[in-house]
A and B are shown apart, each in its own frame.
Chain A
């Protein structure tokens, strides 16, 4: 079972608020990812990281930002939440593909509702 955690699991917040979605993994994985997914719909990569101090933008443009100060922690921040940010946010991590550890392990997700 994957050891990747996301908090909060559910968040209802008003427009204009700043929010931070937390993601932590205890597997020592260098690579971490954030996906945005509407229920039952496709996964959109919005941010990823190769390791500490590395952050990259994904395929889907997002107003969110990320940081990677510690290997195990990859938080996502929205400075000013809007109703269009309402979605499910999934965090994932993976090991070194050179060692056959390219499997991405996903957290349970954070469901965000912006009113």
Chain B
């Protein structure tokens, strides 16, 4: 049973456009929601993360929007650049020392020049 559903599977955006990736979760115990970015041949790296006490978090061109009632969160990449082309994974975990991250299946983003 997949507990974090991510969409779309792939996304093509023109340079300067907005990239939007969505995730939905089922487990109401989740309270930590990170996004990871992975370039080919590399391990994933934390991009930005949010907790449910805020509805939005912005770091540079990257913004997480969080809707607790809908159990959804999304990543927005403003002014998308070719260097943003990568695979993006959303994830979620409960606030417990014995918990692990549940990852979405990933979105392959291609930003065309």
Which A residues contact B (CB, under 8 angstroms)?
2, 33, 39-43, 45, 48, 50, 58, 90, 92, 96-98, 102-109
Contacts of A42 in B (CB 8 A): 89, 103-106
Of B13-21, B54-62, B69-77, B91-99, the one contacting chain A is B91-99
Cross-chain contact of B32 among A2, A58, A96, A97 (Cβ < 8 A) = A97
Contacts of B44 in A (CB 8 A): 43, 90, 104, 106
- Besides A58-B100, A96-B97, 14 new A-B residue pairs in contact (Cβ under 8 A), listed by A number: A39-B40, A40-B106, A42-B89, A42-B104, A43-B89, A43-B106, A45-B100, A45-B101, A48-B100, A92-B43, A97-B96, A104-B101, A106-B43, A107-B43
Contacts of A43 in B (CB 8 A): 44, 89, 103, 106
**CA gap between A29 and B22 in the complex, in Å:** 30
**CA gap between A58 and B103 in the complex, in Å:** 13
Chain B, 43-68, contact with A by CB distance < 8 Å: what is the 0/1 string?
A: 11110010000000000000000000
Query: Across the interface, do A102 and B93 meet the contact criterion of CB distance under 8 Å?
Result: yes
The 9 closest A-B pairs by CB, nearest first: A106-B43, A42-B105, A43-B103, A103-B46, A106-B44, A90-B43, A107-B43, A109-B43, A108-B43
- Chain B, residue nearest A92 (CB): B43
Query: Across the interface, do A109 and B46 meet the contact criterion of CB distance under 8 Å?
Result: no
- Chain A, residue nearest B105 (CB): A42
- Chain B, residue nearest A50 (CB): B98
CB A9 to nearest CB in B, in angstroms, measures 9
**CA gap between A2 and B3 in the complex, in Å:** 28
Query: Across the interface, do A102 and B42 meet the contact criterion of CB distance under 8 Å?
Result: no
Query: Across the interface, do B97 and A108 meet the contact criterion of CB distance under 8 Å?
Result: no
Cross-chain contact of B87 among A40, A50, A90, A102 (Cβ < 8 A) = A40
Does chain A have a CB within 8 A of B111? no
